[in-house]
Amino acid sequence: MSIRITPLTGTTGGLVEGVNLNEPVSRDTFDVLHRAFLDYGVLVFRGQHLQPAAHVEFAKLWGNPAQNNPLDPAVPGFPGLIQVTKIPKETASTEAWHSDSIYTAVPPKISILSSVVVPHGGDTMWCNQYVSYERLSPTMQRMLEGLRVRFAGLRLARMRNIDKIPEAVHPIVRTHPETHRKALYVGHPETAKQIEGMTVAESRPLLDFLYGHSTAPDNVYRHMWQVGDVVMWDNRCTMHYAVHDYGEEERVLNRITLEGEVPV
């Protein structure tokens, strides 16, 4: 089997064909996937029906599995593998553009989802934050240099009924540790609270502009899940959004997240 990688849109995502992730991935294959991952930010593998043990093995090729929140249900026998199940729309923290756990000091670098039960709908969207940065004018790029944002996990805290809201401060433009490209690092208005050293009134319009700018339709890949799909993404240069349009239908995805670096 030879690997084929095809762009899924003009900006975001690559479709990988010719790889069976239930079998050990050779070093050569990994190198091709790694290159494609850095280029596309999101990789889509259709029809994998990935077994939990293979999911864990594949994830370990990319880094160290992150410590899971004990509140998240795990796949029986696989403590590192979280089951993303349907949550009420009113409290779903994932139905907003976000980069995972941006409100923590060391956010994860990669997440790998494998679909088990798919409703009608329940798509996931990704946007490319290199492109979001590169589409800014040179003047705006210069203005953002050195700015840092205070992020708060308000949406998560609400979903989980947590009193102590996690917070972290990160650069508004981060440099990817592997590609050395600059990416815009923002998030939903409830999460991206304030630019350090500015008032809320000064920060808000700029943060709102950058959020809307990042998620323009021509910067988005929308994945319509089929059972057996695997999608992995780079949290350092993309945001994603889980569309909740499936009412009470079941939706189950298995997920592993890999430890990241302090954003710089």
Which residues are at the interface with ligand OGA (CB under 6 A)? 84, 94, 100, 111, 124, 240, 242, 253, 255
Tokens 């349907």 belong to which residue?
A: 86
Closest contact distance (angstroms) between CB of 25 and Mn ion is 24
Closest contact distance (angstroms) between CB of 141 and ligand OGA is 28
User: Considering beta carbons, is residue 32 or 82 the nearer one to Mn ion?
Assistant: 82
Tokens 């079998």 belong to which residue?
A: 23
User: Considering beta carbons, is residue 100 or 229 the nearer one to Mn ion?
Assistant: 100
Closest C-alpha to 110, from 260, 262, 261, 263: 260
Closest C-alpha to 219, from 207, 210, 231: 210
Q: Number of H helices and number of E strands within the chain?
A: 6, 16
3-state SS, one letter per residue, for 229-263: CEEEEECCCEEEEECCCCCCCCCEEEEEEECCCCC
User: Considering beta carbons, is residue 17 or 123 the nearer one to ligand OGA?
Assistant: 123
The helix/strand/coil state of 155 is helix
For ligand OGA, which residue has the nearest CB?
242
Give the Cα separation of 13 and 43 in Å (integer): 6
Closest contact distance (angstroms) between CB of 86 and ligand OGA is 9
Closest contact distance (angstroms) between CB of 102 and ligand OGA is 11
**192 touches which of ligand OGA, Mn ion, none (CB within 5 to 8 A by kind)?**
none
User: Considering beta carbons, is residue 136 or 154 the nearer one to ligand OGA?
Assistant: 154
**29 touches which of ligand OGA, Mn ion, none (CB within 5 to 8 A by kind)?**
none
Phi-psi region of 80 (alpha: psi -120 to 50; beta: other; left: phi over 0): alpha
Closest contact distance (angstroms) between CB of 188 and Mn ion is 11
User: Considering beta carbons, is residue 107 or 206 the nearer one to ligand OGA?
Assistant: 107
